[in-house]
Amino acid sequence: MMSLTKLIIDRKCIAVFFILSCSLIGPSSVAQTASPYELKTGREITLLGVGAAIQGGLFAFNSTIDPLTPADVSALNRADVNSFDRKATYHWSTSADKLSDVTLAGNAAVFGLLTLGAKPMRQDIKTVGIMFVETIAFANGLERVVKAVTLRPRPFVYDPTAPLEETLTRDARQSFFSGHATHAFATAVFTGEVFRHYFPHSRLKPVVWVGSLGLATATCLLRYEAGLHYPTDLIAGAAFGSLVGWGIPKLHEVKNQSALGRRMDIQPWSTGSANGIYMRLAVFSR
């Protein structure tokens, strides 16, 4: 980067330190000069506080939920399940259940590796990290509220081949809507949105989107095969998770930032004997 202009006026005058740095850089580097997101103390405290309050309230409320009894299980009839969801009641697989946890963790790993491996995101890790925590807390919190209200039996409860001890738990009554689907799609959409804002011209954007959404879809399919969720549980979870994964970054976007504003970095400057302003303008060619 070459310095084009530098001007210092002593402290008796208005001191100005002006540096214009120009270089021919690729379009993908332009987004690295400024963060596309901003934190606001009041908003973040509110979002995190609401998330914590929901989690705390649910912990207390869930302890009051009564599990199904053997009589309740024997009284269940597959014919009472709507035709779209009914096929799920024939599924039960512990291996698919465990694999769904792996794909869910894989989605979080993709986000973590991108955050640590991409310099602009790593340098902005506080903002990115807080937004991610808000996304997961908000998505999972509301999903669990719906579960606690609807108390829908999971599909495997209808399957006589499933172990009875599994059907007689509180968790067996919390099918709608899917927490794994919510978490997976919230993470996937959040990852894709954040990456495209930091690297608007990157050729890797489709790879990130396809990879993260592919893992999220695999998570949903495995939850279905495990007999833990109906298709409607998974569709609702995926839709709600996607909405939150898109909405939280959108809420934090820097507003009214022009193309020039994204390329220009202005900061106060001082040596003790003189004060001024530092300005850097990134110039690029296509």
CATH superfamily of 82-256: Phosphatidic acid phosphatase type 2/haloperoxidase (1.20.144.10)
Confidence (pLDDT) at 8 = 34
* Residue 49: predicted pLDDT: 87
Name the CA radius of gyration of the chain, rounded.
25
List, for residues 22-77, the tens digit of each pLDDT value: 322 233 333 344 889 999 999 999 988 888 888 777 777 777 788 999 999 999 99
Place of tokens 């495990």: 226
What is residue 272's predicted lDDT score, i.e. its pLDDT? 54
Mean pLDDT of all residues belonging to the chain: 82
With bands split at pLDDT 50, 70 and 90, how would you rate the model's confidence at 135?
Answer: very high
5 near 17, Cβ under 8 Å? no
Helix (H) or strand (E) run with residue 265 in it: strand 264-270
Least trusted range by pLDDT, from 49-53, 91-95, 118-122, 132-136: 49-53
Residues 175-187 have a mean pLDDT of 96
Q: In the prediction, which pLDDT does 73 show?
A: 92
* Domain positions in the chain: 82-256
Lowest mean pLDDT among 122-136, 150-164, 244-258: 244-258
Per-residue pLDDT tens digits for 188-247: 999 999 999 999 999 999 999 999 999 999 999 999 999 999 999 999 999 999 999 999
Could you give the C-alpha distances from 46 to 58, 85, 242, in angstroms and in order? 18, 38, 21
**Pair of tokens at residue 137:** 């807390």
Q: pTM (2 decimals)?
A: 0.77
Place of tokens 């096929």: 87
115-138: average pLDDT: 94
**Distance of alpha carbon 199 from alpha carbon 283, whole angstroms:** 17
Strands 275-281 and 264-270: antiparallel
* pLDDT score of 273: 57
Q: Is the pLDDT of residue 283 over 80?
A: no
